[in-house]
Amino acid sequence: MKKRQVVILGSTGSIGTSALKVARDIPECMEVVGLAAHSNTKLLAEQAREFAVKQVCIYDESRVAELRALLPSDVTILAGAEGLCELSCLPESDMLLVAIIGTAGLAPTLAAIDAGKDLAIASKEILVMAGEVVMKRAADKGVAVLPVDSEHNAIFQCLQGHKGGADEVSRLILTASGGPFRQTPAAELEMVTLAQALKHPTWQMGQKITIDSATMFNKGLEMIEARWLFGIPMDRVDVIVHPQSIVHSLVEYRDGSILAQLSASDMCFPIQYAVSWPHRLPNSLHQLDLAKLSSLHFEAPRWDDFPALGLAREAGLQGGTMPAMYNAANEVAVEAFVAGRVSFAGIWRTVERVLASSTPRDYQGELRMIIEDDSWAREQAARVIDEMH
């Protein structure tokens, strides 16, 4: 296969560092040509030196001088939102891996599409906010959109070779570990502490994603993302709890057949497949030994106790700007929980109240409307939190 020239946005986070592990493992197929981080100048500089990268971006513009002192003079340093967009369109690159949290990845993603770069997407917010725009523009430009999240990558793999179209797919079934509170009684969720919420039983992730996993908002965002990635109506996107995180997701076809993708719990697997697709390459990753698995356990999600799932489905069904408002309100509520301003259950109560008072708009490709309603939802969430505090 042709070697991929990859720019990584979010290289110092959990997905970014896993992507660099993949680059070390398959250097004949993946070359890193650009790196971007939010504010971790030390690690970004170490990565740039290791991979001999000549173009980097630091989102926090106040850290440029600090980063400059850590890098050779021949490394170009970009900064801020404009820097992310410029880095995403490097002429020598052919793929952008988006692994930055929140809405900051949307503009560079669209810029990369317009520049003809394939996308490997790990940032859920991009497709939650503007899935219709991103997927249409990618199709118009002939750009591949390759999912990096383990669940969506699993579905992508299960759909490979299927020629029958969406009508032959009965359900997309996203697996969820259940997080640290899978068996916690509903009455005790009110008292969950930040330290408890950050103890995920399976994955090592950043703070925001770990808390989203604990509330199940992470899975709600993935439901909306799957709807756009695979062109499947929202009411045919489902969730099953699978604590072992061995089966990463499943596709049920209309004849009753279910295809699943299994691997060890390591984000390097989906990242490598996104980079190497449509090829499969050998690697040094831990291989799954089915004989050593005593069982694979599945259970229904607790929809009533974790309202994030139902709120996501409703937001996806209403469409328009409602998913963007779902995401925005959750981001504000998680920040408030981390700051000790709302309880754990206050996260979904905040989102519930924001969505109940909102009127989604059909943005019809107008990103301006998405940004406006995103801002409105953030302001509304802040008001709700002030009232609850």
Domains of the chain from N-terminus onward: 4-148 (3.40.50.720), 149-266+288-305 (no CATH)
Give the least confident one: 69-73, 338-342, 362-366: 362-366
- pLDDT tens by residue, 273-309: 999 999 999 999 999 998 888 889 999 999 999 999 9
Distances (CA, A) of 174 to 99, 243, 246: 20, 12, 12
Q: Rounded to an integer, what distance in angstroms lies between the CA atom of residue 253 and that of residue 170?
A: 5
Non-local (6+) Cβ contacts of 228 within 8 A are 127, 131, 132, 134, 135
Question: Cβ distance 347 to 337 under 8 Å?
Answer: yes
Amino acid type, 43: L
- pLDDT tens by residue, 182-201: 999 999 999 999 999 998 77
């779902």: which residue's tokens?
A: 326
Report the predicted TM-score, pTM, of the whole model to 2 decimal places.
0.93
Question: Is the C-alpha dihedral spanning 19, 24, 30, 35 positive or negative?
Answer: positive
Of the candidates 255, 256, 252, which has an alpha carbon nearest to the alpha carbon of residue 240? 252
Q: Rounded to an integer, what distance in angstroms lies between the CA atom of residue 266 and that of residue 273?
A: 12
Q: What is the pLDDT of residue 319?
A: 93
The angle, 0 to 180 degrees and rounded to 10, between the axes of the packed helices 344-356 and 367-388 is 130
Mean pLDDT of 318-337: 96
pLDDT at 243 over 90: yes
pLDDT at 260 over 70: yes
